[in-house]
């Protein structure tokens, strides 16, 4: 009986010593750095995060305008500098995926557009007979037209996507 009890205790100790005590991988972005908003100019901001193991960082496909100061690192409190190139006439968004084993976290990167309002002419002159003319406005803003003379009428504007070219 004593041998059986001793054998059971040894077997229990063996099972206990074989259990996996490694904590599950974690990665957590510190509050306030999970979304980075940039103006249309080039710039840099810092993402702060913690990981309990080696981590990797990658920019999502199609966001070549985002660069990272590092793509991997060690466990602990970390800072990753995120840089963006200057932007043109359309706002854009991308993401950074941080990973520590099976644990992942995402940081969203937003960049505003450069505002544009380009008018091809500021003045049109007609003789007494009158006539028709067009003014081309290129913009990515909302534009309104105000005519302060009864003898001038506005045609329906035509537009294209992106930097809109509106002809009045």
Cα Rg, the chain, nearest whole Å: 31
Confidence of residue 26 (pLDDT cuts 50, 70, 90): very high
Q: Give pLDDT, residue 44.
A: 98
What letters, b where the CB count within 10 A reaches 16 and e where it falls short, cover 70-99? eeebeeeebebebebeebebeebebbbebb
The C-alpha angle 19, 24, 18, rounded to 5 degrees, equals 10
- Which residues does 113 contact at the CB level (< 8 Å), separation at least 6? 40, 87, 88, 89, 90, 91, 92, 140
Tokens 């059971």, located at residue: 8
pLDDT at 150: 82
The model's confidence at residue 109, banded by pLDDT at 50, 70 and 90, is: very high
- Residue 162 reports pLDDT greater than 90: no
Q: How far apart are CA 151 and CA 167, in angstroms?
A: 19
Give which of 153, 146, 143, 36 is closest to 98, Cα–Cα. Answer: 36
Burial class (CB in 10 A: 0-12, 13-18, 19+), 11: exposed
Q: What's the first-to-final CA gap in the chain, in angstroms?
A: 102
Residue 17 has pLDDT above 60, yes or no: no
Q: What's the pTM value of the predicted model, to 2 decimals?
A: 0.68
């Amino acid at each position: 009986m004593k041998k059986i009890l001793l054998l059971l205790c040894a077997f229990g100790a063996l099972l206990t010593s074989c259990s996996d005590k490694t904590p599950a991988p974690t990665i957590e972005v510190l509050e306030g750095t999970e979304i980075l908003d940039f103006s249309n100019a080039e710039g840099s901001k810092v993402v702060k995060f913690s990981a309990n193991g080696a981590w990797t960082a990658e920019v999502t496909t199609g966001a070549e305008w985002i660069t990272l100061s590092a793509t991997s690192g060690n466990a602990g409190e970390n800072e990753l500098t995120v840089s963006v190139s200057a932007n043109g006439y359309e706002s854009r968004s991308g993401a950074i995926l941080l990973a520590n084993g099976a644990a992942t976290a995402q940081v969203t990167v937003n960049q505003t557009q450069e505002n544009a309002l380009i008018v091809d002419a500021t003045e049109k002159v007609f003789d007494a007979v009158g006539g028709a003319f067009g003014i081309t406005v290129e913009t990515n803003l909302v534009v309104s037209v105000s005519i302060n003379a009864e003898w001038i009428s506005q045609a329906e504007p035509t537009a294209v996507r992106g930097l809109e070219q509106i002809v009045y």
